Amino acid sequence: VSQLSDIGEDALIERLIRLVPCDPQPAAGPGDDCAVVDPGPESPTLLLLKTDALVCNVHFLPETPARAVGWKAVARVVSDFAAMGGRPERFLVTVALPADTAVSWVEDLYRGIGDCLRTFGSVLAGGETSRVPQGSAPVISISATGSVPRDHLVLRSTAKPGQVLLVTGTLGGSLREKHLRFTPRIQEAHWLATHFKPAAMMDLSDGLAKDLPRLAAASGCGFRVDRDALPLTPGCLVADAMGDGEDFELLMAIAPDRLPHLLPAWHEQFPDLPLTVIGRLVAPGAGEDIKGGWDHFRTC
Amino acid sequence: VSQLSDIGEDALIERLIRLVPCDPQPAAGPGDDCAVVDPGPESPTLLLLKTDALVCNVHFLPETPARAVGWKAVARVVSDFAAMGGRPERFLVTVALPADTAVSWVEDLYRGIGDCLRTFGSVLAGGETSRVPQGSAPVISISATGSVPRDHLVLRSTAKPGQVLLVTGTLGGSLREKHLRFTPRIQEAHWLATHFKPAAMMDLSDGLAKDLPRLAAASGCGFRVDRDALPLTPGCLVADAMGDGEDFELLMAIAPDRLPHLLPAWHEQFPDLPLTVIGRLVAPGAGEDIKGGWDHFRTC
């Protein structure tokens, strides 16, 4: 019998979405960072929807401070709204916990959730609490609604061969606690969508090696990465930048003739955050193949 | 150290919502079946949001057919939209599963999800898959958006002393597989909201003994239940009707002078589904106290 570990996450999702009715006219394909709903031509904004989950011993450890877990749970979702050029608005929080969980742990978790909601101007709209059997891993599932002005929407499927690839920040090193302390690039994505709208964008959650092929495939392109150009988190190697995952930086494709304007404007606007050209998109089949990155159901 | 099992679900939620920013002007209080968002006075409908979760060995068993689990996961959420007088529209599905889960199990789960989405005219808008550690309970977390015409919205907090309490269907016996096969009362709730709008309504998910005190407390009322009048599922006792939970029937409060019109019209419209007067709301402090029903974190 075939198990999830045999086929991996992307193949699983492809099989599952065939089994359920989906939006007949989605504004974004399945697999983009958020689902996009068009409320109708009179609406100046589009509705964004996102769901995500954190699991103990997968995304955090039993000894991880609960407040940091709460921040991370919300910040991961905020990062997906950034990747679409939008903003999150209302959050739904589901926690499934063993009955012997300390009340103070859950309160700290919610303090961290509150920290992140306040930082990004969002609110809790609802939630659910459930028990898991004794010994089962706690699960925190976060869903959110948000919005994006119609002309700010950036998909991952709309890049073209010849465009250059850029990333914000530095890559690699998530396990050395970066994954608990990152700042979603909402402000930067908003600035980009307003002034230098990328042709395509996504956030790096599973590592460049996993996510870049996804952006390229969604856009029907190949890609080439300049490994020497990768902005490495201090102490990290190229392999870490490719495969660690949980960078929560933005990966984008932009027409090369915009770079002479974009790069100086970026450095003036965000002097402390690198924006680095790391490669380019090419015709399908003309690119390279990379393996690795985070897959939930395979051993990597 | 205080544990979740010491304080129970309702007290936990009360403590948690103080720790996070909430909607400054919610159209429904926390604890109603769905969160209600008012998109602005020009919108004829209100936005509804809901999140819920199913956990293996809590809400279903490892041997429960996966297709029935999928139906139940979605149907529980549909029932919450019914309880507000609204309809669900777009679903987000998060599954957290061990890596050795059979692919066919997950496919059957999604077939059941698809069955229920199609039955109620909803679609899947997005989702997430995550691994849980080996041996941990699978968790299925479902979120959904929906809508309700402004004048159809029914809260649980707007009942008044003197109103009668009614329930649809029969109560008790959920464990004998009723909890896997129930039909959310979307059609009935829509008819009620259109023709005999209840003063307050909720769906019975944790048992009358748990849910009726919630409706009464939200409305600032006491209550009296006529135990002899409870519509029992065949083979069930009053205690089952009070405490089994997962009936997913509607509980509502209606002015007594509407009964002579409501009851004949209901029986003509829904000849196969009982609608039963089970008690009334009284002044706060003048009612009875009941204990029991389902609490996630306490032994009941």
Helix H, strand E, coil C: the string for A187-252 is HHHHHHHHHCCCCEEEECCCCHHHHHHHHHHHCCCEEEECHHHCCECCCCCHHHHHHCCCCCCEEE
pLDDT of residue A277: 98
Mean pLDDT lowest among A79-83, B19-23, B158-162: B19-23
Please name the residue of chain B whose CA is at the shortest distance from the CA of residue A57.
B133
pLDDT of residue B300: 37
Mean pLDDT lowest among A43-47, A157-161, B134-138: A43-47
Return the closest-CA partner of residue A12 out of B95, B204, B50, B220: B95
Distance from CA of A182 to the nearest CA of B (A): 20
Q: Do B90 and A23 touch (CB under 8 A)?
A: yes
Please name the residue of chain A whose CA is at the shortest distance from the CA of residue B114.
A20
For the cut 70, the answer to whether the pLDDT of residue A212 exceeds it is yes
Residues near A228 by beta carbon (within 8 Å), at least 6 away in sequence:
none
pLDDT of residue B207: 95
CA A243 vs. chain centroid, Å, equals: 15
Q: Do A50 and B130 touch (CB under 8 A)?
A: no
Query: What integer is the mean pLDDT of B159-170?
Result: 98
Q: Do A297 and B129 touch (CB under 8 A)?
A: yes
Residue A248 tokens, joined: 């929560």
pLDDT of residue B297: 76
pTM greater than 0.90: yes
pLDDT of residue A292: 79
Query: What integer is the mean pLDDT of A223-227?
Result: 97
Sheet holding A87-97, edge to edge: A35-37, A45-55, A139-149, A87-97, A123-131
Q: Residue A297: which pLDDT band, with cuts at 50, 70 and 90? A: confident
pLDDT of residue A295: 76
Residue A240 tokens, joined: 């870490």
What are the beta bridge partners of residue A50? A144
pLDDT of residue B24: 82
Query: What integer is the mean pLDDT of A177-187?
Result: 90
What are the beta bridge partners of residue A223? A281
Q: Which of B78, B84, B131 to mutate to test the interface with A (most CBs of A within 10 A)?
A: B131
Task: Note the pLDDT tens digit of each residue in B240-272.
Answer: 999 999 999 999 999 999 999 999 999 999 999
Q: pLDDT averaged over chain A?
A: 94
Q: Do B20 and A110 touch (CB under 8 A)?
A: yes
Give dist(CA A4, CA A12) in Å, integer: 7
Q: B122 with B164: CB under 8 angstroms? A: no
Q: pLDDT averaged over chain B?
A: 94
Please name the residue of chain A whose CA is at the shortest distance from the CA of residue B20.
A114
pLDDT of residue A300: 38
For the cut 90, the answer to whether the pLDDT of residue B39 exceeds it is no
The shortest CB-CB distance from A37 to any of B90, B99, B296 is to B90
For the cut 70, the answer to whether the pLDDT of residue B17 exceeds it is yes
- Exposed, middle or buried: residue A57 (CB in 10 Å: 0-12, 13-18, 19+)? middle
Query: What integer is the mean pLDDT of A36-50?
Result: 92
Return the closest-CA partner of residue B121 out of B146, B140, B100: B146
For the cut 80, the answer to whether the pLDDT of residue A148 exceeds it is yes
CA-to-CA separations, A104 to A66, A108, B7, in angstroms, rounded: 9, 6, 12
Q: Residue A205: which pLDDT band, with cuts at 50, 70 and 90? A: very high
Q: Within 13 Å and on the Cβ side, how many CA atoms surround A128?
A: 31
Distance from CA of A167 to the nearest CA of B (A): 24
The answer to whether the Cα torsion of A201, A204, A208, A211 is positive or negative is: negative
The shortest CB-CB distance from B139 to any of A132, A145, A296 is to A132
Q: Residue A293: which pLDDT band, with cuts at 50, 70 and 90? A: confident
For the cut 60, the answer to whether the pLDDT of residue B299 exceeds it is no
Q: B29 with A105: CB under 8 angstroms? A: no
Q: Which residue is associated with the tokens 């974004």?
A: A28
Query: What integer is the mean pLDDT of A116-143?
Result: 96
Give dist(CA B5, CA B162) in Å, integer: 36
Q: B128 with B94: CB under 8 angstroms? A: yes
Query: What integer is the mean pLDDT of B47-63?
Result: 96
Return the closest-CA partner of residue A97 out of B13, B112, B211: B13
Which chain A residues are Cβ-neighbours of B15 within 8 angstroms? 103, 107
Query: What integer is the mean pLDDT of A164-191?
Result: 93
Residues in chain A: 300
- Exposed, middle or buried: residue A2 (CB in 10 Å: 0-12, 13-18, 19+)? exposed
Q: At what angle do helices A103-119 and A66-83 cross, to 10 degrees?
A: 30
Q: B208 with B171: CB under 8 angstroms? A: yes
Q: B245 with B212: CB under 8 angstroms? A: no
Q: How many helices (H) and strands (E) does chain A have?
A: 8, 10
